[in-house]
A and B are shown apart, each in its own frame.
Chain A
Amino acid sequence: MAEPIISFQDYGFQYTAQAEPTLHHINLDIYPGEKVLIAGASGSGKSTIGSCINGLIPFAYPGKSTGKLTVGGMEPEKSSIFVLSHTVGTVLQDTDGQFIGLTVGEDIAFALENSCVVQDEMKRIVDEVAKLVDIEHHLQYAPHELSGGQKQRVSLAGVMVDEVKVLLFDEPLANLDPAAGRMTIELIDRVQERTGAAVIIIEHRLEDVLWRKVDRIVLMDEGKIVVDMPTRAFLSGNALLEHGIREPLYLTALRYAGIPITEELEPQHVDSLLLTDKQIAMVQDWYQSAAKEREGKKEETELLKVEHLSFGYTAEIMNLRDVSFTIKEGEMVSIVGRNGAGKSTLAKLICGFEKPTSGSIYLAGRDISGDTIKERAQRIGYVMQNPNQMISRPMIWDEVEMALLAGNMTAEERTERVEETLKICGLYPFRKWPVSALSFGQKKRVTIAGILVQRPQMIILDEPTAGQDYHHYTEIMEFLKELNEQGFTIVMITHDMHLMLEYTPRAIVFSEGELLADTTAAHVLNDPELVKKANLKETSLYTLSMKCGIDNPQRFTERFIEYENEKADLER
Chain B
Amino acid sequence: MKKLSVKSVVAIGIGAALFFVLGKVAIPSPVPNTNISLQYSVAAVFAALFGPIAGLLIGFIGHTLIDATSYGPWWSWIIASAFFGLVVGFATMKMHVEEGVGKKEIIFFNVAQAVAHLLAWGLVAPVLDILIYAEPIEKLFAQGLMASVSNIITTGVVGTLLLLGYAKTVVKKGSLTKED
Contacts and interface: CB of A to CB of B under 8 A. Distances in A.
A and B touch in the complex (CB under 8 A): yes
Interface of A: 17-20, 42-43, 392-394, 434-437, 439-441
A83 to B, nearest CB: 16
Q: SS class of chain A's interface: helix, strand, loop or mixed?
A: loop
Interface stretch (B56-64, B85-93, B163-171): B163-171
B172 A436 contact: yes
A437 B168 CA distance: 10
A276 B90 CA distance: 75
B180 interface: yes
Given A394-B168, A436-B173, A437-B176, 18 more contacts: A17-B173, A17-B174, A18-B174, A19-B175, A19-B176, A42-B180, A43-B178, A43-B179, A393-B165, A394-B169, A434-B172, A435-B169, A436-B168, A436-B169, A436-B170, A439-B179, A440-B179, A441-B180
Nearest to B6: A60
A61 B164 CA distance: 25
A17 B174 CA distance: 5
B70 interface: no
Nearest to A439: B180
B3 to A, nearest CB: 14
A18 B177 contact: yes
Contacts of A42: 180
Nearest to A222: B178
A20 B180 CA distance: 14
> Which size class do B's interface residues fall under?
10 to 19
Contacts of A441: 180
What are the 10 closest A-B residue pairs judged by CB atoms, nearest first?
A17-B174, A394-B168, A439-B180, A436-B172, A19-B177, A436-B169, A43-B180, A20-B177, A43-B179, A394-B165
* Residue of B165, B176, B178, B180 with highest tally of chain A CB at under 10 A: B180
Contacts of B176: 19, 437
A518 B169 CA distance: 42
23 contacts: A17-B174, A18-B174, A18-B177, A19-B175, A19-B176, A19-B177, A20-B177, A42-B180, A43-B178, A43-B180, A392-B165, A393-B165, A394-B165, A394-B169, A434-B168, A434-B169, A436-B168, A436-B170, A436-B172, A436-B173, A439-B179, A440-B179, A441-B180
Interface string B138-180: 0000000000000000000000000011001110111111111
A435 B176 CA distance: 13
Contacts of A440: 179-180
A43 B178 CA distance: 8
A435 B172 CA distance: 10
Nearest to B170: A436
Contacts of A439: 179-180
Nearest to B175: A19
Contact of A20 (B169, B174, B178): B178
A408 B153 CA distance: 28
B157 to A, nearest CB: 15
Nearest to A15: B174
A488 B176 CA distance: 35
A275 B177 CA distance: 47
Nearest to B165: A394
A185 B168 CA distance: 40
Contacts of B178: 20, 43
A42 B179 CA distance: 10
Contacts of A437: 172, 176
A498 to B, nearest CB: 21
A435 B178 CA distance: 15
A43 B176 CA distance: 13
Nearest to A20: B177
Contacts of B165: 392-394
Contacts of A392: 165
B69 to A, nearest CB: 16
Nearest to B98: A17
Nearest to B164: A394
Contacts of B172: 434, 436-437
A392 B164 CA distance: 11
B48 to A, nearest CB: 18
A402 B110 CA distance: 26
B105 to A, nearest CB: 16
B142 to A, nearest CB: 36
A441 B179 CA distance: 11
Contacts of A17: 173-174
A18 B169 CA distance: 16
A256 to B, nearest CB: 30
A369 to B, nearest CB: 26
Contacts of A394: 164-165, 168-169
A439 B175 CA distance: 14
Nearest to A442: B180
Nearest to B174: A17
A2 B29 CA distance: 70
A20 B164 CA distance: 27
A437 B179 CA distance: 8
Contacts of B177: 18-20
Nearest to A17: B174
A440 B178 CA distance: 12
Interface in B59-95: none
A18 B177 CA distance: 6
Nearest to A392: B165
Nearest to A81: B6
A19 B173 CA distance: 11
A382 B20 CA distance: 28
A42 B178 CA distance: 11
A157 to B, nearest CB: 21
Contacts of A18: 174, 177
A220 to B, nearest CB: 15
Nearest to A22: B178
A18 B178 CA distance: 8
A400 to B, nearest CB: 16
A58 B21 CA distance: 35
